[in-house]
Amino acid sequence: MRKVLSFIIQLRHPDNAKNWRNIQLLLSQTLRSIAAQDHAGWQAVIVANHGAALPALPAGVCVKRVDFPPNPLPHPLDSRFRDASRQATAVDKTRRGLAGMSHALELSGGAPGHFMIVDADDFVHRGLTSFVAAHPDANGWYFKEGYIWTEGGTLLYRYDNFFLQCGTSNIVRHDLIRLPADIAAVDDDYVRQGVWNHFDLLDEMAAAGTPLAPLPFCGAVYRVGHSESWSHSRGIWRRYFITKAMLRDPVELARRVRRLRLKNREMETVYFGLPV
């Protein structure tokens, strides 16, 4: 079957991980979510360094091995280097993303449909591939809404402007992405000029005359509050509820409470890969 959606998963260098076994566990759960797609026209490419151990891979998932070096600034302890660390992380992830997209292009004979970058600890809606298959000529979509879930929690928080919080939040038609002919020869300056940044992608696509449309449903779950998070994100309670601002604004606090959703069987089937 023709591939209409290619999921690209960039794994960090093993030297940048606190615990590689945790990375493998998180990845296996993300892969279970992807493999539960309700349409067969998908493929997934994991970009991983040579020698990095991986969990068992579901059918439809392949690996692109690379020799990219570790990110030199993954976890800045000094706030003065925070911006530099974010830029270094963006360059590292983009380089790996480009390698994954190029590999997906080869696997599909030059027509991988749409690309979606998926962080290796997040979850996706099982209906993404069928939705893309129904709109093959669309430029793509940004995830206006999605869920945020604290690792191990029983509640999810439906978040507006999800694409500004989570990198697993955009789908773009493959021919709108400018892929270099030789990924290995690309230097950092080239990557910086074309960083796939979920903060800026919406504006960049619109400026290019190929705007993205809002996805008409919650497309993903952003997993937070675990030790291997790229962004060191806190759990939903500390970030969105138990704050001074919420104590001063009970109306907003009540609005946020209404956006909570129980992690029940339906949610686990739609997002977490539980069998139907």
Could you tell me the residue ranges of all domains in the chain?
A: 5-270
The number of angstroms, rounded, from the C-alpha of 219 to the middle of its chain's C-alpha atoms is: 11
d(CA 191, CA 89): 12
Q: Work out whether the CA dihedral 19, 23, 29, 32 comes out positive or negative.
A: negative
- Listed in order, strand segments (DSSP E) in 28-83 are 42-49, 61-66
Contact in structure between 20 and 260 (CB atoms under 8 Å): no
Residues 6+ apart with CB under 8 A from 218: 125, 143, 145, 146, 147, 158, 162
Considering the domain 5-270, what is its CATH architecture?
A: Alpha-Beta Complex (3.90)
pLDDT digits (tens, 9 = 90+) for 142-189: 999 999 999 999 999 999 999 999 999 999 999 998 887 777 667 666
Listed residue (54, 64, 50) closest to 8, CA to CA = 64
Q: Tell whether pTM > 0.85.
A: yes
pLDDT digits (tens, 9 = 90+) for 30-75: 999 999 999 999 999 999 999 999 999 999 999 999 999 998 876 6
